[in-house]
Every structure is written in C-alpha cells, then in structure tokens.
C-alpha cells in the first residue's frame, strides 16, 4: 500500500469518525432539550398540599433517649 493510499484511507476513517461524533452530539443535545422541557413542565405542575404538626409519641421519645 502506497503512502498516499494510506493517507486517503486514514482521511476517510477520520471523516467517518467525525460524522459519527457530530451525530452523537446532536442526539445528546436533542435529549437534553427534551429533558429540560419535561423538567419545566413538571415544575409548573407542583401541587399545593396541607399538613398538620403531630405531637411525637411519648413511647418513641423514651425509646430515643
């Protein structure tokens, strides 16, 4: 194999690897943006709730001591 053939082959392999890398980066960005949209929607749907304070159980206080 001549040096020029080896360089051409290496160049094709490099271009192929760069193409795969770019496609992967596009997919990552697509997933990140859809995940961010889902998080924004979820944060808008926060439900308000009521609560009441409950006095601790005397037995639980003794066990803790």
Q: What are phi and psi of 54, to 5 degrees?
A: -115, 130
- Confidence at residue 60, expressed as pLDDT on a 0 to 100 scale: 63
- Confidence at residue 62, expressed as pLDDT on a 0 to 100 scale: 65
Every domain of the chain and the residues it spans: 14-40
Rounded to whole angstroms, the maximal C-alpha distance in the chain is 88
Whole-angstrom Cα distance, residue 19 to residue 23? Answer: 6
Query: pLDDT digit string (tens) for 11-21?
Result: 999 999 999 99
Q: For the chain, list residues with pLDDT below 50.
A: none
- Confidence at residue 42, expressed as pLDDT on a 0 to 100 scale: 86
> CA nearest 56: which of 48, 47, 65?
65
Report how far Cα 13 is from the mean position of its chain's Cα atoms.
30
């Amino acid at each position: 194999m001549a040096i020029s053939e080896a360089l051409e082959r290496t160049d094709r392999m490099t271009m192929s690897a760069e193409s795969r890398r770019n496609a992967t980066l596009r997919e990552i960005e697509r997933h990140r943006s859809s995940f961010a949209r889902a998080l924004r929607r979820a944060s808008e749907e926060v439900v308000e709730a009521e609560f009441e304070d409950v006095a601790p159980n005397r037995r639980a206080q003794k066990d803790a001591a």
